[in-house]
Amino acid sequence: METTRETWVHRVNPISKLGISVLLFVCLLFLHNPSILFYILILLLLNILLLSGQSIFRFSFFYYHFSLFLFQLARSMILFGQGENIWWQFGLIKISEESFYRGIHIGLRALSFALIGFFFILTTKPTRLFYSLMQSARLPYKVGYSLLSGVRLIPQLFNQFQQMRKAIIVRSGGSRVSAVEQMKLIMIPILAGNIRNAHRLAAAMEAKGFTEDKRTFYYSDDYSKRDVYYLLYAIFCFVIVSILSTYYPIFPIDNVMRL
């Protein structure tokens, strides 16, 4: 995704960012304090706003949709969850203390998962990621370049899908086309076209002498001191979250699993 400006996080080795992101995923699995999850969510939003290089307008657009995502996840648990301390009930809808905090817990955790991955995507270029995987993680060249080529074909695939859909609407003359028939008319030409593109790409790579032998890279993506700074920054953020949740808790409970 294009950025309006580049920050120091964009220059961190993608393998380091990926490893820290996975570590954060694992930590979130064992966090059941909704106050900690709330502060983690706030810090993630601030990091996306300040360090992703995106404009405030685009940030607001993403935040709006992620907020809807949080609401949809938490709603079912809050309105229809089980619990003994009933706050309000109307027909099948029953809001209890247990269901409320469990819904908030699930929503905050899921949204934090999404924002961690989103922050990684916003600050990492696919080319750098696959080059780093091949150079640092010893990913086989054939696999790395194949995945990179596939990622670069995704925008082209999306554009073809939009064009085919508009063409079907125009040719139908206003008559309604069923969703199943529409998918048949769209997917078969797109799949055939992309198979031809993949064949041309494979022929071009073979013509240029692409083999499994040791290669030199135009882009060198080694580890640097920025990776250490990024790790220290992640630890610093986690310490800040722990302090805030201890002295300024948002919710009166510290472990949802005990409810």
pLDDT reported for residue 2: 56
| Tens-place pLDDT, residues 167-226 | 877 777 666 767 777 777 788 888 888 788 878 877 877 777 776 667 777 667 778 899
pLDDT reported for residue 36: 94
pLDDT reported for residue 42: 92
3-state SS string over the chain? CCCCCCCHHHHCCHHHHHHHHHHHHHHHHCCCCHHHHHHHHHHHHHHHHHHCCCCHHHHHHHHHHHHHHHHHHHHHHHHHCCCCCEEEEECCEEEEHHHHHHHHHHHHHHHHHHHHHHHHHHCCCHHHHHHHHHHCCCCCHHHHHHHHHHHHHHHHHHHHHHHHHHHHHHHCCCCCCCHHHHHHHHHHHHHHHHHHHHHHHHHHHHHCCCCCCCCCCCCCCCCCHHHHHHHHHHHHHHHHHHHHHHHCCCCCCCCHHHC
pLDDT reported for residue 189: 82
| Tens-place pLDDT, residues 96-106 | 888 888 888 88
Residue ranges of the chain whose pLDDT lies below 70: 1-4, 173-175, 177, 211-213, 218-219
